Amino acid sequence: MHPRLALFAGETQPLSLPVVDHYCGIEKLMRKSLALQAARGPVFDVTLDCEDGAVVGAETEHVQLVAELLASPENRHGRVGVRVHPVDHPAFELELQALAAAPVAPAYLMLPKIESHAQLVRGAAAVRAAWGTRSAPPLQALIETHGGLREVEAIAAHPALQSLSFGLMDFVSAHHGAIPREALTLDGQFDHPLVRQAKLAIAAACHGHGIVPSHCVVTELRSRSRLQEAARRAAREFGYTRMWSIHPDQIEPILEAFAPSTAEVDEAIEILDAAQAAGWGPIRHRDQLHDRASYRLFWSLLERAQRTGQDLPAEVRLRYFGATIAA
């Protein structure tokens, strides 16, 4: 029996998404990102940005370009989403109508600056109305303010939502100088108590409702090692399973940081193979007892290895990630 059937019977398996969410809003960069994704494979998502990363005042032309890119051969893997304007912005409805009329739907819609559960409900209703009788894209949302953070549990529970992201810069700015500028730096954002509290609250709410917590962007572009350390801390210390990228050079370091180690993957394969042979009953492995509770952890590690493009043995890929999952 496959792990997804044996370990999550009667339960909803937590959602899995590619661990990198790469943002771009200028035509040259959007096309470059799509070409990179086509060559590298769907180990990272591309989010075409209609909001902060796009030119102000050309919203109509920009969303039409985004719709064309979604439907073009450049969208080879179907893992391209769109960040629209905030729910209460005049361009929001315009963008929904243009995207709903496109022949290829986005893989997801990112709704920025969500202030409350009620605002998310309004946004989700507008998306459903724009798509009419067709299936609307799943939603992702960005928590950047006090209001969104206060209602993060209710927001994370919304059935249309698949991921929550943390917006560091707007969150720090909303404190009007009470959080120092150092909290925006690569190191400081992990150390300031109010920022740490916000990050942990978002991650905990996401895991509690089976959706994906996505860590904020890191503006450090020159140092691969420092970026990788930030991504490692986001994953290992704060429980994030996805992270934003704003430059192509950030994609590989984030993938590497979020990927489990070779030792972790080897152990996961050994334990899952032994568990499957034992009909998913308890086993003894290296003088430790394991059962379905720990099997879920090792299955999550193996899934993450697969999502980050690690070189798994061919028989492991076939056994666990083949096209058909049968009991």
What residue numbers does the annotated binding site for Mg(2+) cover? 144, 170
Whether 253 and 19 have beta carbons less than 8 Å apart is answered as no
Instruction: Indicate the annotated binding residues for substrate.
Output: 83, 144
Q: Which residues contact 55 (CB under 8 A, 6 or more apart)?
A: 25, 26, 62
Instruction: Indicate the annotated binding residues.
Output: 83, 144, 170
Whether 252 and 297 have beta carbons less than 8 Å apart is answered as no
Could you give the CA distance from residue 320 to residue 313 in angstroms, rounded to a whole number?
11
**Positive or negative, the Cα torsion across 184, 186, 192, 195?**
positive
Whether 171 and 145 have beta carbons less than 8 Å apart is answered as yes
